[in-house]
């Protein structure tokens, strides 16, 4: 709303004051009280004075109407759908001094002066405001327009100078946009009825009309009747309800599009309030044919009305814009669509919104005919291609519906939902399927099944990530982008050219970011964990990773690679690139590698790093141990052997195992499982790390679980993004820590302080060597200068053990000063100061000139793809629930004698039965033979109910034959397998 306030209306001119605006005003809440509240919001002082309200709709050249009651307010807002601007004037009536504003010199009219304001809305006065200049007397021109142009003289043509306004007399019969009054004789003056605007029902897809039109009746011969006939196209003198005795010239701004209440297009409309004589008068004021004000956009598709050779405006049919109109599509006769596909999409959108279903009787590139599925529903829409154009125009349109809303609609499809919820699924790719289905149902107000929600989510994610083949083709571009932002990054892609066309087929790709490489060298210990995990994408493969340990005993990823499978060749290729990036010597002396005995990894260690110390993950070793020797006693004893830090205690624990179970003792002492790979008593002490499980790699595999199911570029990008965010997050957390030791080593030291105070008694010899007596009677020697203890825990971990803590306190020193430098916060920060650099999106990567990489050969396995690994029996025990499940190692069927199922499920392992053999063929076409009947000259058109019946018959026919064909295919496959088994 545009509000003039703080001034007065003198004559027909608003003088003084200010202009304020109210945006997004709700017309349904408008009332006279609401106008009062808006007035008080402009200035609280207005509440104590008398103010009259006047309004215009759309343009300041329209009539003024006074607001006296809520009925007037309703009249004001009834035009809002067509005109979005309401102009409100606040006329301040001052009862005090007349010269409150001494600077404004305004001519005061007498009290009996007739301002000619029409409170009913139809008026003969149009107010045209002139710009006011500060501190100057406003001027105006009073021009009288005579009914007869012959009455004009030279004197009357000259404008008269006056103050404040320009007044133009216009005909009483002219309709303004603010209100329309019917013609009345003088006896019925003041009894004119206001015609309400005819509004179409938007729920059935009709365009809202702008004004009620009065048309003359006309008749034509039957041979020339046409349902789309518009009289104005044939007769230029045809009247639209408002004519003058003289010829009319229509302005550009007065031409609009008219649609009646049932959605029919009526042609151009007149919104203007001025009439002009065709006769040219040289003394009249010249008028330009183009507007001085307004937005002239260079992107405007229709900068002005099209004129023919006679200067008449061509007929403009409404056009459907899918970018703006598809959100709430409305239809009318004559509307133009770019293609039939856009029209079908608009019909589907309208049907889903309103809850009805349609049959597409005609559905091709040139014709679209849709009727409602409900019986006896009159809705119908027919459109066909326009002549000499590829556009489609609605020729027949019946908008009415008498059917009820359908909550389960066949118009809803996965393609429609994918397009509508694409952006939201992009922001939340982990959206649960059940929750997604509920959200879709509540928004579209149609039931969405869980299966459809699953298909929508899968299609949306695939569309967002691009096709898998496209991502394989962009792998070189991805590697070049990583090198562009960080030249120290190592990228190695290996392809297979063993094919007929010699095309590059993807085999392996290695990535080691420069920041990860530098961070590991800055402060991580010389311990590397290696592991591999399966990828859950369509083309399979495995991901090899190398993980280090930072100053807080947490993971620091070094590199990762995507390979075809875990083998000796792939591990050798990965280790050679890793050793080159970390500058590891050829023999690997002084380095420690820990793994879970992956396939082909041990031979790769012997070939690439033969002098390195190799540790096995005791967690995987324990899993194999419990399969042969179950029980908690043997399990605990096995862990006691592995945790022994000295040879003496290791031998003692082995003797205990031998007494418990001799076979378990032989299994642990087998030559294939030497103790140097899994017992702490045989670990070297140069790495300050005593870990004996490969939990570092396992935790990272779980961290990237979702990424492992994506195509290669998306997977690598998600891994890089997670590492980049984690480095920054850990860096910020460590900056807020107090002290000089990282949190996890500090916790270990605090536990050793408690144990040392409770169990140890130190005895110094006067130097740096101390004898510590344990409470159970054993003794250990601690050398503070060499930072060693005979229990070897201090040398293995780098954190003082309980014996060392007792000796340190005895010398009045601080245990924190004896912690290894690899656990200090400054070491941690030197690692995490190396940040991974962000990169651009795929669309901004430079294209490589080399041949595109093809994806590896894909062989789909039978059944649904497995996304969850098979859990071990011990892992199943940790499941949720109140009842413990049964673990059965072997299962044998008593019916067929096979292992793997029982009698109850034996039928599931039998070949399926052929249910199609007993089915009889259905006769779709019943009744007399049509060939014996005489052929009529021309078949009458089918009714809507007959079309619905025919459509259902065709659908049923297709469904039956699809069912039969599927069973026939299954029968042939089973028969082939039976023949092959019989022949073998």
Tens of pLDDT, residues 210-241: 333 333 333 344 444 444 444 443 444 434 33
Q: State residue 305's pLDDT score.
A: 53
Is the Cβ–Cβ distance between 612 and 585 less than 8 Å?
A: no
Q: State the pLDDT confidence band at 174, using cuts at 50, 70 and 90.
A: very low
Q: How do residues 572-594 score in pLDDT, each as one tens digit?
A: 999 999 999 999 987 888 899 99
- 844 vs 926, more confident: 844
Q: How do residues 489-547 score in pLDDT, each as one tens digit?
A: 999 999 998 888 888 999 999 999 999 999 999 999 999 999 999 888 777 889 999 99
Kindly state the average pLDDT of the residues 466-490. 91
Q: State the pLDDT confidence band at 729, using cuts at 50, 70 and 90.
A: very high
Q: How do residues 380-396 score in pLDDT, each as one tens digit?
A: 999 999 988 889 999 99
Q: State the pLDDT confidence band at 689, using cuts at 50, 70 and 90.
A: very high
Q: How do residues 780-807 score in pLDDT, each as one tens digit?
A: 999 999 999 999 999 999 999 999 999 9
Q: State residue 932's pLDDT score.
A: 45
Question: DSSP of 785-848, one letter per residue?
Answer: TTTEETTSHHHHHSS--HHHHHHHHHTT--GGGGS-GGGBHHHHHHHHT--PPP---GGGSPPP
Q: How do residues 746-776 score in pLDDT, each as one tens digit?
A: 999 999 999 998 999 999 888 889 999 998 8
Kindly state the average pLDDT of the residues 138-163. 38
Does the pLDDT value for residue 571 go beyond 70? yes
What is residue 457's DSSP assignment?
Answer: H
Distance CA 948, CA 967 (A): 29
For residue 768, give the 3-state DSSP assignment.
coil
Q: State residue 796's pLDDT score.
A: 93
Q: State residue 224's pLDDT score.
A: 40
| Of 177-186, 265-274, 892-901, 950-959, the least confident | 177-186
Q: How many CB atoms lie within 10 A of CB 393?
A: 19
Kindly state the average pLDDT of the residues 252-278. 43
Distance CA 54, CA 32 (A): 12
The mean predicted confidence, pLDDT, of the chain is 76
For the ranges 313-322, 675-684, 949-958, the maximum mean pLDDT occurs at: 675-684
| Of 106-115, 952-961, 962-971, the least confident | 106-115
Q: How do residues 832-865 score in pLDDT, each as one tens digit?
A: 999 999 999 988 999 988 889 998 876 666 666 6
Q: Can you state the angle between helices 514-523 and 712-735, rounded to 10 degrees? A: 40
Q: State residue 917's pLDDT score.
A: 45
pTM above 0.75, yes or no: no
SS3 of 325-348: HCCCCCECCCCEECCHHHHHHHHH
Does the pLDDT value for residue 885 go beyond 70? no
Kindly state the average pLDDT of the residues 86-104. 61
Q: State residue 101's pLDDT score.
A: 41
Does the pLDDT value for residue 341 go beyond 60? yes
Q: State residue 467's pLDDT score.
A: 74
Q: How do residues 405-444 score in pLDDT, each as one tens digit?
A: 888 888 889 999 998 898 888 778 778 899 999 999 999 8
Does the pLDDT value for residue 925 go beyond 60? no
Q: State residue 36's pLDDT score.
A: 84
Q: State residue 494's pLDDT score.
A: 94
Kindly state the average pLDDT of the residues 145-160. 40
Q: State residue 286's pLDDT score.
A: 52
Q: State the pLDDT confidence band at 874, using cuts at 50, 70 and 90.
A: low
Distance CA 328, CA 346 (A): 9
Does the pLDDT value for residue 284 go beyond 90? no
The fraction of the chain above a pLDDT of 90, given in percent, is 37
Distance CA 204, CA 355 (A): 11
Burial 83-114 (b: 16+ CB within 10 A, else e): beebbbbbbbeeeeeeeeeeebebeeeeeeee
Kindly state the average pLDDT of the residues 181-194. 38
- 749 vs 296, more confident: 749
For the ranges 147-161, 174-188, 274-288, 883-897, the maximum mean pLDDT occurs at: 883-897
Is the Cβ–Cβ distance between 611 and 587 less than 8 Å?
A: yes
Distance CA 9, CA 55 (A): 12
Q: State residue 776's pLDDT score.
A: 85
| Of 5-9, 670-674, 786-790, the least confident | 5-9
Provide the token pair at 236: 């230029």
Distance CA 315, CA 233 (A): 8
Distance CA 790, CA 772 (A): 10
Q: State the pLDDT confidence band at 827, using cuts at 50, 70 and 90.
A: very high
Kindly state the average pLDDT of the residues 657-684. 92
**List of residues 6+ apart from 791 with CB closer than 8 A:** 645, 646, 780, 801, 803
């Amino acid at each position: 709303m545009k509000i003039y306030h703080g001034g007065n209306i003198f004559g027909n001119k608003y003088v003084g004051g200010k202009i304020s605006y109210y945006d997004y005003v709700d017309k349904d809440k408008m009332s006279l009280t609401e106008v009062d509240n808006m007035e008080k919001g402009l200035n609280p002082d207005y509440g104590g004075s008398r103010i009259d309200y006047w309004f215009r709709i759309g343009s300041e050249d329209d009539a003024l109407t006074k607001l006296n009651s809520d009925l007037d307010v309703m009249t004001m807002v009834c035009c809002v759908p067509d005109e979005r601007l309401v102009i409100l004037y606040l006329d301040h009536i001052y009862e005090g001094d007349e010269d409150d504003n001494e600077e404004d010199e305004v001519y005061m009219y007498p009290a009996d002066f007739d301002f000619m304001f029409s409170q009913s809305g139809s008026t003969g006065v149009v107010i045209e405001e002139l710009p006011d200049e500060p501190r100057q007397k406003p001027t105006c021109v009073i021009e009288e327009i005579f009914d007869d142009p012959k009455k004009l003289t030279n004197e009357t043509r000259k404008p008269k100078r006056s103050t404040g306004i320009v007044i133009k007399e216009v005909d009483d019969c002219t309709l303004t946009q603010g209100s329309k009054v019917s013609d009345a004789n003088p006896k019925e003056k003041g009894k004119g009825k206001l015609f309400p605007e005819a509004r179409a029902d938007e729920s059935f897809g009709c365009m809202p009309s702008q004004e009620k039109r009065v048309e003359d009746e006309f008749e034509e011969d039957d041979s020339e009747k046409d349902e789309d006939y518009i009289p104005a196209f044939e007769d230029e003198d045809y009247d639209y309800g408002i004519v003058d005795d003289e010829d009319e010239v229509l302005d550009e701004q007065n031409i609009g599009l008219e649609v009646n209440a049932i959605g029919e297009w009526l042609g151009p409309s007149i919104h203007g309030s001025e009439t002009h004589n065709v006769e040219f008068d040289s003394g009249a004021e010249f008028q330009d044919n183009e507007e001085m004000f307004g937005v002239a956009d260079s992107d405007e598709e229709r900068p002005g009305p099209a004129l023919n050779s006679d200067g008449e405006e061509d007929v403009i049919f409404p056009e459907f814009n899918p970018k703006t109109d598809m959100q709430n599509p409305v239809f009318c006769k004559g509307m133009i669509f770019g293609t039939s596909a856009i029209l079908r999409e608009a019909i589907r959108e309208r049907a889903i919104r309103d809850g009805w279903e349609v049959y597409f009787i005609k559905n091709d590139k040139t014709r679209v005919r849709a009727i409602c599925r409900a019986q006896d529903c009159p809705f119908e829409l027919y459109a066909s291609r326009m002549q000499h154009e590829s556009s489609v125009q609605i020729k027949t349109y019946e908008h009415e519906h008498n059917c009820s809303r359908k909550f389960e609609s066949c118009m809803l499809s996965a393609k429609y939902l994918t397009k509508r919820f694409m952006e939201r699924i992009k922001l939340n790719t982990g959206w649960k399927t059940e929750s997604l289905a509920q959200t879709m149902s509540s928004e579209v107000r149609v039931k969405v099944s869980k299966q459809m929600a699953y298909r929508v989510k899968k299609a949306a994610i695939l569309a967002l990530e691009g096709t898998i083949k496209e991502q394989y083709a962009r792998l070189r571009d991805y590697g070049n982008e990583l090198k562009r932002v960080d030249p120290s990054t190592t990228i190695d892609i290996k392809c297979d050219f063993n094919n007929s066309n010699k095309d590059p087929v993807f085999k392996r790709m290695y990535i080691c970011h420069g920041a990860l490489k530098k961070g590991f060298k800055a402060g991580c210990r010389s311990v590397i964990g290696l592991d591999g995990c399966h990828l859950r994408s369509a083309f399979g493969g495995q991901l090899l990773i190398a993980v280090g340990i930072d100053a807080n005993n947490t993971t620091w990823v070094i590199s990762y690679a995507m390979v075809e499978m875990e083998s000796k060749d792939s591990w050798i290729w990965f280790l050679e690139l890793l050793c080159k990036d970390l500058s590891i010597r050829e023999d690997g002396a002084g380095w420690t590698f820990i793994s879970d005995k992956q396939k082909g990894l041990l031979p790769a260690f012997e070939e690439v790093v033969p002098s390195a110390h190799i540790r096995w993950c005791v967690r995987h070793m324990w899993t194999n141990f419990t399969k042969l020797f179950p029980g908690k006693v043997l399990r605990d004893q096995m862990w006691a052997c592995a945790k022994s830090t000295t040879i003496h205690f290791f031998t003692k624990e082995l003797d205990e195992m031998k007494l418990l179970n001799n076979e378990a003792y032989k299994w642990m002492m087998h030559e294939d499982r030497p103790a140097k790979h899994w017992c702490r008593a045989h670990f070297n002490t140069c790495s300050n790390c005593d870990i004996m499980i490969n939990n570092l790699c396992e935790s990272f595999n779980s961290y990237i679980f979702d990424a492992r199911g994506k195509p290669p570029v998306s997977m690598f990008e998600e891994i890089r993004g997670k590492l980049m965010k984690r480095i920054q997050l850990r860096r910020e957390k460590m900056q807020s820590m107090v002290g000089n030791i990282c949190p996890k080593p500090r916790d270990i030291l605090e536990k050793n302080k408690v144990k040392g105070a409770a169990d140890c008694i130190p005895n110094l010899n006067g130097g740096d060597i101390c004898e510590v007596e344990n409470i159970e009677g054993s003794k250990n020697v601690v050398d503070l200068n060499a930072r060693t203890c005979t229990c070897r825990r201090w040398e293995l971990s780098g954190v003082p053990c309980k014996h060392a803590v007792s000796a340190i306190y005895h010398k009045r020193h601080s245990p924190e000063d004896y912690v290894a430098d690899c656990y200090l916060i400054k070491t941690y920060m030197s690692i995490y100061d190396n940040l991974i650099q962000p990169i651009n999106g795929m669309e901004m990567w430079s294209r490589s000139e080399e041949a595109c990489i093809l994806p590896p050969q894909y062989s789909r396995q039978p059944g649904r793809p497995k996304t969850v690994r098979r859990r071990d029996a011990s892992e199943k025990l940790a499941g949720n629930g109140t009842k413990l499940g049964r673990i059965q190692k072997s299962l044998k069927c008593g019916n067929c004698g096979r292992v793997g199922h029982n009698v109850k499920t034996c039928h599931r392992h039998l070949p399926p039965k052929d249910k199609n053999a007993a089915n009889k063929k259905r006769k779709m076409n019943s009744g007399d033979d049509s060939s014996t009947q005489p052929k009529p000259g021309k078949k009458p058109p089918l009714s809507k109910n007959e079309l619905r019946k025919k459509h259902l018959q065709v659908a049923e026919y297709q469904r039956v034959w699809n069912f039969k064909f599927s069973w026939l295919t299954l029968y042939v496959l089973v028969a082939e397998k039976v023949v092959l088994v019989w022949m073998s």
